[in-house]
Amino acid sequence: MNIITTPLRWILDTIYGFVGNYGVAIMLFTLVIKLILLPLDLKQRSSMYKTQKIQPMLEEINKKYEKDPEKKNQKTMELYKKEHINPMAGCLPILIQMPILFAMFAVMRHIAAEQVVEMVNTVAAGNTYIPQSFLWIKNIWQPDNISAAVIPDLSTISGTISAVKNSAVLTSDVIATVKANYETVMKPMMELYNNGAANGWAILPLLAGGSQYFTTWLMNGQQKNNPSSPASQQAQQQKLMSYMFPLISVFFCWQYNAAFSVYWVTSNIYTIVTYVIFNLVAKKKEEKKALENK
């Protein structure tokens, strides 16, 4: 995983060096990664768009050769070939983006743990520590929810640090210092920052769930098939996932630091905007081609 996390961390740190705020840096970072993957993304969307357009023909093949699976597969592949559709074209971008998602999760946890160490060391040295806020979130390295504290307790600190290994910053001596100084150093900070204050208002988790649902609906929810057909059965599975993915999004963004939630929400919004633009451009091209053929 280091082969992915190391360059991602370098890009994020470089952007942060210019803007000075991790919330803004993560949003810009997300756009940079999406633009790098844009060629593959366009191929995936082109394949999905063409596949949706031939759904009636696929339905007809499924119905006509329902009792002859071999013939049905043959005719389906012939249709794909005729329409210049590669059924596997949509898989590669997903296979590439999933490791990036997990790598980003690892990067965010790593930075969060380093921020905890910086927080303790700053206060231990007698200096004032101000958590890095972003919009309504008081500490971007804590979850955006009404039950999350601005300054983490010892169990949260221990869990965060222990999840990040092989770090030059988070050595065993540093971790021991953090735990040893917690009572004298961190408790006053907790009393100062956590006095009746929630870290966030769960806006990012809700945005993540809503944007994830709309993303899935755009890609799958507009298909209308015969309920008894295999294509419709696949659509039913996609419909189930359209509810599962948003719930998973809410869960992750509720549990983990708001920095990762910013990445998730920005990624979803980018997908929605570019998907709508792609469809508009594709429809205009079809209309222009139809006029030229008249």
CA distance 292 to 108: 51
Q: Is the separation of the CB atoms in 114 and 139 below 8 Å?
A: no
pLDDT score of 40? 77
pLDDT in tens, 126-137: 677 788 889 999
pLDDT score of 16? 93
pLDDT score of 82? 76
Do the domain assignments include residue 18?
no
Instruction: Mark the ranges of the chain whose per-residue pLDDT is less than 50.
Output: 224-231
Do the domain assignments include residue 255?
yes
Do the domain assignments include residue 58?
no
Do the domain assignments include residue 8?
no
The DSSP 8-state label assigned to residue 184 in this structure reads I
Do the domain assignments include residue 53?
no
CA distance 209 to 215: 10
Q: Which residue shows structure tokens 């970072």? A: 29
Q: Is the separation of the CB atoms in 127 and 185 below 8 Å?
A: no
Do the domain assignments include residue 129?
no
* Structural domain of 264: 202-294
| Number of structural domains found in the chain | 1
pLDDT score of 169? 61
User: How many C-beta atoms surround the C-beta of residue 54 within 10 A?
Assistant: 17
pLDDT score of 228? 44
Q: What are 63's two structure tokens?
A: 């119905």
Do the domain assignments include residue 271?
yes
Do the domain assignments include residue 36?
no
pLDDT score of 232? 52
pLDDT score of 225? 46
CA distance 63 to 53: 18
